[in-house]
Amino acid sequence: MSSRKVIELFFDVVSPYSWLAFEVMCRYRKVWNIELRLRPTFLGGVMQGSGNKPPGLVPNKFLYMGKDLNRLSEYFNVPLKPPADVPEAMFKKGSLNAMRFVTAVQEMEKSGDERVERVSRELWRRIWYEDRDITEPASLSEAAMKAGLSDSEIKRALELCNSQEVKEKLKSATEEALDYGAFGFPLVVCHLNGKPELFFGSDRFELLAHCIGEKWLGPLPDKSTAKL
């Protein structure tokens, strides 16, 4: 078997499209010959650094996004339901605290990224399905508890959130995404022959598969494999 290809997924839990890419890549990490690296990043910093404007601030894009997410939720089998006040959830409250928390959880990981995966998923579920807060310490604690973290681990993660080490790590990941050429999320960076190949959005999986010499089996590869 050829060596596994390294794929980085830069994401922010404030982005619903990132959730779609996140779930697909997590499903395919055992189907494709890849090493998936989850890269929690601050989308607000990427948008500001690239000069991009969030789709939610463009009226027609905002209207389209609501309909689009309903279709995508069914297609990808991800429980997406926009919060009642999207601008407040995405732009007023934002995700800086949440992404510092995810970064803190990643800092605590001894190997792999299982906890990062579980905590990120619970935070997405809170904002993009349950219409609940992801900014307050109590909200972060509840998400982490549902993800299986112990009380001591949650306390440690909350402490790390305010550390300079975690703040710098999140800032560094954001700057790295910008250096790759990011202008929004999700951003998949595939390292091929020593060079990074960028794929933006949650609709480039067929092209990604083609580039790495794998097969796209749809959003639910386990079901597709069972039919073969």
Q: Which amino acid is at 118?
A: R
- What CA–CA distance (Å, rounded) separates 180 from 200? 11
Q: Which of 15, 18, 73, 139 is catalytic?
A: 15
Q: Is 152 a catalytic residue?
A: no
Residue 116: its H or E element: helix 114-128
Any residues with CB less than 8 A from the CB of 71 and at least 6 apart, and which?
none
Helix axes 96-108, 164-180, angle to 10 degrees: 100
Q: Dihedral angle at the C-alpha atoms of 8, 11, 16, 19, nearest 10 degrees?
A: 50
Residues marked active site are found at 15
